[in-house]
Amino acid sequence: METIERIQKQISENPILLYMKGSPKFPSCGFSARAVEAVINCQVPFGYVDILTNPDIRAELPKYANWPTFPQLWVEGELVGGCDIVLEMFQKGELQALLKEVAERHPA
């Protein structure tokens, strides 16, 4: 499977997906740590992809997403944004509302 096809499959199969450095339990950069903490605090199930163990995805996703940095939060196939946007939405209560609504539409 081509890298772009893998990315599209991951995004379509996970209503809430975080591309990050490391894992939710062991983030490998400060930006990923802050973003995943915000998503975890929304208390909804989500998928993640460690781009450090997937160098092909790390190389191709920025082109596919037209977004140069990581982490990247994808919700229902749409790129929400990176760390700053995720944190800003969380602080306003927007992230919690969005992720709760999406999780209710896609019961695990």
Return d(Cα 78, Cα 2) in angstroms, integer. Answer: 20
According to the model, what pLDDT value does residue 1 have? 76
Binding residue positions for [2Fe-2S] cluster? 29
Domain that holds residue 58: 3-105
Task: Report residue 105 as tokens.
Answer: 């539409």
Binding residue positions for glutathione? 21, 58, 70, 83-84
According to the model, what pLDDT value does residue 46 have? 98
Ordered mean pLDDT values, 10 residues apiece, the chain (108 residues): 95 98 98 98 98 97 97 98 98 98 91
Instruction: Indicate the number of domains in the chain.
Output: 1
Binding residue positions? 21, 29, 58, 70, 83-84
Angle at 96 between CA 95 and CA 99, to 5 degrees: 80
Q: What CATH number should be reported for the domain holding residue 75?
A: 3.40.30.10
